[in-house]
Amino acid sequence: MGSIRLSDTTGSLFLDFRYGIGRFREYSSLPDNQTNRKALQKILDKIESEIAAGTFVYANYFPGSKALKRLAKLGPGNLAKTETSVASEQVVKGLAEEIVAAGPLFKDFAAQWFDERSIEWRRSHIRSLISTLNGHLVPHFGEKVVGSITKSDVLEFRATLAKVKGRGAQEGLSNKRINEIMGLLRQILNEAADRFEFTSPMLNIKKLRQRKTDVDPFTLTDVQNIISTVRADFKNYFITRFLTGMRTGEVHGLKWKYVDFDLRIIRVRETFVLGEDEYTKTDGSQRDIQMSQPVFDALKTQFEATGQLSDYVFCNMAGQPLDNKNFSDRVWYPLLRNLGLAKRRPYQMRHTAATLWLASGEAPEWIARQLGHTSTEMLFRVYSRYVPNLTRQDGSAMERLLASQLTQLPLIAHKTDETAREIYTPAKPAFAAKSNVRNVQRSEPRIDPVKCVDTKTTVVPPAVPSAAPRQSENATPKLIPRIAPAPITWASMAQSWQGGGIDAP
């Protein structure tokens, strides 16, 4: 008599029965559970009844089996369909479909999938997934077998999420949250489909469109006002956050052993999330941040306050890390209201650091490393539009090109420092003024305006080449280089804060 057995190697069920010349085993991909055992038992009972009646055709049940070569010795009846086996084939087809639709229950497979994958995740991510599974997926799909879940079931579930009460007065979950829940469901069902060989019901179900969240950094003036106004015990904290770009969990989990005053670097190695120290968000988040002078001074001052009190740089009176919600509700949002600034998440301090670095002319690759990005792609995608507002340099390259090529514009006379000879270069294009420049003749020589000085210049009308002073062929005029406006530097920023109120009460 045959039996349903469990493979020690694969952990799946298989059929074990005797027929004709010997013993046969046919393996399935089904895990061991009551539903799958019942489905396989129906097939085994049918097989044994046909063996007893002499109508069993092996190929009808297992057309791709390796055992068919052995059965060739018994004659072609075991390898091909017969008229007497047509009815039997229809029954087997129905049972096979039942097995495909059977599989484990969703709650069982989800638990198995979670146990297999949890070793890959951070503790905070594990907590988030458990909340999603227990709060949404298991209550809705838990008693369904994974192979029986249809696309219609999935879409109906997504529609119910839009009606779940959200935070505050919000009706329905946000599209972002719905996409997160559906993303977890997709991972589970896709894995089940791969293991039990059925088409995933998540196929061609797209994400909901999410509203783009724009970064809203503070201006340098806002930063100065915030640091000058905040209460004294948080001043060093704000300087560090605004000028290092550290994430909330990174700065709250910063320990003194990761602060190197000799090398002036902050080593980001841990993060503090949901009351526990964890590995950083990504491998790229493991980085060394260079201290600017204001940050160096702030941490030196902070060490006098908490260096002997706690392992953590920023802590409460009990020496424990700061709680993000408590900080936001009691310090951050009241401070913004007091200054009349728009409500922003504390994370905007990180965005502010990025825009200030860009404004001061720092290399994008260096900024990306400071922020913990593996490339500059995100830097340009998120922050590039703020650079023109801070540097006011956009379009300057085009202005220089026009000034060097459109010589029909009014010329500017420049004097060399020793020979006192005048040389002429085109003035900046004045697009607001319209003039007839068709008959203006070109002047010689052409001089690159970038190598000349704009200061102490006199605008003169266009002159014919013979009217312009000529230089000898071997003479090389000494041109005074253009002096570009100095970029914002951390030193000047620190100096302005020291004089403008950082140390003020």
Give the pTM.
0.54
In 3D space, the residue among 61, 65, 27, 25 whose CA is nearest the CA of residue 46 turns out to be 61
Q: pLDDT per residue over 107-151, tens digit each?
A: 989 999 998 888 888 777 888 889 899 999 999 998 888 888 888
Instruction: Report the 3 state secondary structure along 258-302.
Output: HEECCCCEEEECCEEECCEEECCCCHHHCEEEECCHHHHHHHHHH
From 77-86, 188-197, 206-215, the region with the lowest mean pLDDT: 77-86
259-260 β-sheet, strand order: 259-260, 265-268, 287-290
The residue among 472 and 362 whose pLDDT is bigger is: 362
Residue keyed to tokens 């006011």: 392
CB 357 within 8 A of CB 370: yes
The answer, yes or no, to whether residue 334 has pLDDT greater than 90, is: yes
| Angle (CA) 174 273 355, round 5° | 70
In 3D space, the residue among 79, 39, 85 whose CA is nearest the CA of residue 59 turns out to be 79
CB 270 within 8 A of CB 255: yes
The residue among 162 and 474 whose pLDDT is bigger is: 162
| Angle (CA) 141 31 203, round 5° | 45
- Residue 82 confidence (pLDDT): 46
Confidence of residue 169 (pLDDT cuts 50, 70, 90): low
Which domains are present in the chain? 3-102 (no CATH), 106-196 (1.10.150), 220-390 (1.10.443.10), 404-432+441-485 (no CATH)
Question: How many Cα atoms occupy the beta-carbon half-sphere of 264 within 13 Å?
Answer: 9
The answer, yes or no, to whether residue 166 has pLDDT greater than 70, is: no
Q: What would the mean pLDDT of 309-324 be, rounded to a whole number?
A: 89
Instruction: Report the 3 state secondary structure along 88-143.
Output: HHHHHHHHHHHHHHHCCEHHHHHHHHHHHHHHHCCHHHHHHHHHHHHHHHHHHHCC
The answer, yes or no, to whether residue 88 has pLDDT greater than 50, is: no
Contacts of 488 (CB under 8 A, 6+ apart): 220, 356, 359, 360, 361, 390
Q: What would the mean pLDDT of 243-267 be, rounded to a whole number?
A: 92
Confidence of residue 332 (pLDDT cuts 50, 70, 90): very high
- Residue 413 confidence (pLDDT): 57
Q: What would the mean pLDDT of 55-67 be, rounded to a whole number?
A: 79
CB 379 within 8 A of CB 387: no
The answer, yes or no, to whether residue 377 has pLDDT greater than 50, is: yes
- Residue 80 confidence (pLDDT): 52
Per-residue CA distances from 371 to 241, 301, 332, 365 (Å): 12, 24, 22, 10
Distance between CA atoms of residues 129 and 118, nearest Å? 10
Distance between CA atoms of residues 427 and 437, nearest Å? 14
Q: What would the mean pLDDT of 17-23 be, rounded to a whole number?
A: 80
Q: pLDDT per residue over 290-302, tens digit each?
A: 998 999 999 999 9
The answer, yes or no, to whether residue 333 has pLDDT greater than 90, is: yes
Confidence of residue 76 (pLDDT cuts 50, 70, 90): low
- Residue 464 confidence (pLDDT): 45
Contacts of 168 (CB under 8 A, 6+ apart): none
Q: pLDDT per residue over 432-488, tens digit each?
A: 444 444 444 444 444 444 444 444 444 444 444 444 455 555 555 454 555 545 555
Confidence of residue 403 (pLDDT cuts 50, 70, 90): low
CB 407 within 8 A of CB 426: yes
How much of the chain exceeds pLDDT 70, in percent? Answer: 68
The chain-wide mean pLDDT, for the chain, equals: 75
Classify residue 138 as left (phi > 0), alpha (psi -120 to 50) or beta: alpha
Q: What would the mean pLDDT of 328-351 be, rounded to a whole number?
A: 92
From 11-20, 361-370, 387-396, the region with the lowest mean pLDDT: 387-396
Q: What would the mean pLDDT of 37-66 be, rounded to a whole number?
A: 84
- Residue 502 confidence (pLDDT): 40
Residue 272 CB neighbour total at 10 angstroms: 22
Distance between CA atoms of residues 263 and 301, nearest Å? 17
- Residue 168 confidence (pLDDT): 57
Residue 339 CB neighbour total at 10 angstroms: 13
Residues 279-310 as b/e (b if ≥16 CB within 10 A, e otherwise) read ebbeeebebebebbbbbbbbbeebeeebeeeb
Confidence of residue 85 (pLDDT cuts 50, 70, 90): very low
Distance between CA atoms of residues 311 and 231, nearest Å? 23
From 76-80, 144-148, 244-248, 308-312, the region with the lowest mean pLDDT: 76-80
Contacts of 384 (CB under 8 A, 6+ apart): 358
Beta bridge pairs of residue 259: 266
Residue 114 CB neighbour total at 10 angstroms: 16
How much of the chain exceeds pLDDT 90, in percent? Answer: 22
Distance between CA atoms of residues 245 and 289, nearest Å? 9
From 60-64, 85-89, 307-311, the region with the lowest mean pLDDT: 85-89
Q: pLDDT per residue over 219-230, tens digit each?
A: 889 999 999 999
The residue among 372 and 91 whose pLDDT is bigger is: 372
